[in-house]
Amino acid sequence: MSITYLDAIREAQDRALKDDPRVFIYGQDVGAFGGAFKATKNLAAKYPGRVIDAPISEDAMVGAAIGAAIEGMRPIIEMQFADFSTVGFNQMVNHAATLYWRTGVPCPITIRLPSGGTSGGGPFHSQSLETIYAHFPGIVVMTPATVEDAYGMLLSAVAIDDPVIFCEHKYLYYHLKASSLPTESLPIGKARIARQGRDLTVVTYSAMVHECLAAAEVARDEGYEVEIVDLRTIKPLDTDTVVASVARTGRLLCVGEAWPWGGVSAEVIARVTAEAFDLLDAPPQRLNAKDTPVPYHPNLWAAHRPTAQSVAQSMLRLLRL
């Protein structure tokens, strides 16, 4: 049996609906149609009245999820693309994120954001918006990089009593396969060592984990062993695992598909520099998408975001410093 990252997301939702009557799914085209990416295929028929088509109203979708959570439900909201979540931004960052702190009433909602670039996606179907959500207190931001994590972390997202922004990467939907679904997973908030090494720590997450793993093979050919830390959740950020890795390697490169300004890579570097400056043998570096909207043509897109080739170049440059 072979299970894709997308299958894992559907299976996790199937299981959440099956195990917990408080769970329902609300989003555009998620019902009989099964969602733009088919992440809810067959679920409406299997769970009548619990997989609900929404009007094109991201603000009201999230608002309704907050209300349902107050009444004891555990809604999953599917944004059709992460890019459209900005229309629901106010409810997410000002309402869901503040509810527990203001009132003591938790807000267990999961908002799925089909994120990141795919060839031909263009400026409005490619964005990686994890940073802006992580900026706001009161939100957990998950960025799974593997089929196993897509499944396990989505189930955790639904179980957690706080609002979770679940950034699932569209590029991984079909590309990534596993032989079976996991029966257990690392705790939420713990990073994972995706590859062990001694010469350089690369901190990354989501689809970039795979570009970095490929780049690490290029570095190996040059005689270097690169350690790759997959953050899994960017908020909370597992600083301990990152610092422990830097203690082993003395060098840090952060890689993200999101834009550079004030992003996850900036946050990781700020923390490592503040907390472990004396462990660093070279200035920490980062590699992000270029600071422009995401371009449409594959030639431009491939140059806009980090790839195995550009990551490998950054790794080697830093290793030779």
Partner 1 sequence: MLPTAVSNDPLAGVAEFRDQFIRAYRFMLHARLLDERLASLYRSGKIFGGVFLGRGQEALSAGLGVCLRQGDVFAPLIRDAAGRLAFGEHMIDSIRTYLGSPLGPMRSRDGNVHRGRPKEGLLPMISHLGAMISVVNGMLMARRMQKRLGTSVGAACLGEGGTSTGAFHEALNQAGVERLPLVMVIANNQYAYSTPTNRQFACDNLVERAAGYGFDGHTVDGTDLGECLETLQKAVDNARSGRGPQMIVAPLLRLCGHGEHDDSSYIDPRLKQSELGRDCLEIAEQRLVAEGWLSGEEIGRSRSELLAAIDETISTVQRESAPNASAESWQALSTVSLRDMSSGTEMA
User: b/e per residue, 138-153, with b = 16+ CB within 10 A?
Assistant: bbbbbbbbbbbbbbbb
Q: How many residues in the shown chain lie near partner 1 by CB under 8 A?
A: 57
C-alpha distances out from residue 206 to 18, 114, 144, Å:
27, 12, 5
* CA separation, residue 147 to residues 6, 41, 152, 179, 218 (Å): 8, 18, 9, 9, 24
**Structural tokens at position 308:** 């195995």
CB of 320 to partner 1, least distance (A): 30
Q: Does 20 bind partner 1 (CB under 8 A)?
A: no
How big, in percent rounded to 5, are the helix, strand and coil portions of the chain? 45, 15, 40
Q: Is 49 in the site for partner 1 (CB under 8 A)?
A: yes
Is 246 within 8 Å of 272 (Cβ atoms)? Answer: yes
* 232 lines the binding site for partner 1 (CB under 8 A): no
67 binds partner 1 (CB under 8 A): yes
Q: Which is nearer to partner 1, 33 or 101 (CB)?
A: 101
Rounded to the nearest 10 degrees, what angle do helices 308-319 and 208-221 cross at? Answer: 50
- 103-162 residues in contact with partner 1 (CB under 8 A) are 103-106, 137-138, 140, 160-162
- Counting contacts by CB under 8 A, is residue 196 touching partner 1? no
Would you say 36 or 87 has its CB closer to partner 1? 87
125 is a catalytic site residue:
yes
- CB-CB neighbours of 84 under 10 Å: 18
SS3 226: strand
Residue from 120, 236, 262, 283 touching partner 1 (CB under 8 A): that is 236
| Joined tokens for residue 101 | 């702190």
92 binds partner 1 (CB under 8 A): no
Q: Which of residues 238-277 bind partner 1 (CB under 8 A)?
A: 239-240, 267, 270-271, 274-275
Stretch that binds partner 1, among 170-178, 208-216, 237-245, 295-303 (CB under 8 A): 237-245
- Catalytic residue numbers read 125
Interface contacts to partner 1, rule CB under 8 A: 24, 49-50, 54-55, 57-73, 75, 87, 90-91, 94-95, 97-106, 137-138, 140, 160-162, 187-189, 235-237, 239-240, 267, 270-271, 274-275
